[in-house]
Structure 1
Amino acid sequence: MDGLSAFGLFAVGMMLVCYMLEARSHWWTLAFALGCLLGSAYGFLQGAWPFGLVELAWAGVAVAKWMRRRSGAPTA
């Protein structure tokens, strides 16, 4: 496994773990957003720009969700 593949595996693994733990704290939602950013970087670095764009969008969704959860507003 090369370095780029290891980075991608780490990013997607981080996303999975953070998604599973999201209900425990709003900080896991922010960590999920970071994982999405890492996944986006991986997508762009490997040349799969559609994947990079979608992960970037997911990061934005996760940050918005984190902001709502942090303020105590209900999430949908």
Structure 2
Amino acid sequence: MDGLTFFGLFAVSAMLVCYALEDRSHWFILAFATACALGSAYGFLQGAWPFGLVEAIWTGVALRRWIVRQRKSA
């Protein structure tokens, strides 16, 4: 397994774990957004720009969800 493949596996695994734990804390939503950004970087680095683009959009969606949830909990 090369470094890029390992990076992609880490990014997607982190997305899965953070998504599963989102109800526990709004910080998991922020971690999910970060993992989506890593997944986007992976997509672009490996040449799968549609995947990178979709993950970039998911990053924005998750950041918006984090902001909304943070305001509700304050």
TM category, shorter: over 0.9
C-alpha displacement of 1:18: 0.1
What are structure 2's unaligned runs of at least 5 residues? none
Spell out, residue by residue over 1:10-58, the C-alpha distance to the aligned partner (whole angstroms, 9 max, x if none). Answer: 0000000000000000000000000000000000000000000000000
Cα distance in 1 for residues equivalent to 2:63 and 2:29: 7
Query: Hey, what does 1:17 align to over in structure 2?
Result: 17
Cα distance in 1 for residues equivalent to 2:62 and 2:16: 13
State the AA in 1 paired with 2:30.
L
Query: Hey, what does 1:66 align to over in structure 2?
Result: 66
Q: When the two structures are aligned, how many residues end up with a matched partner? A: 73
Q: Does 1:45 align with 2:45?
A: yes
Cα distance in 2 for residues equivalent to 1:36 and 1:61: 10
User: Equivalent pairs: percent with the same residue?
Assistant: 68
Q: Does 1:4 align with 2:4?
A: yes
Cα distance in 2 for residues equivalent to 1:25 and 1:5: 29
What are structure 1's unaligned runs of at least 5 residues? none
Cα distance in 2 for residues equivalent to 1:56 and 1:26: 20
Pairwise CA RMSD of aligned residues? Answer: 0.9
The SS at the match of 2:66 is helix
Q: Using structure 1 for the length normalisation, give the TM-score.
A: 0.94
Q: Using structure 2 for the length normalisation, give the TM-score.
A: 0.97
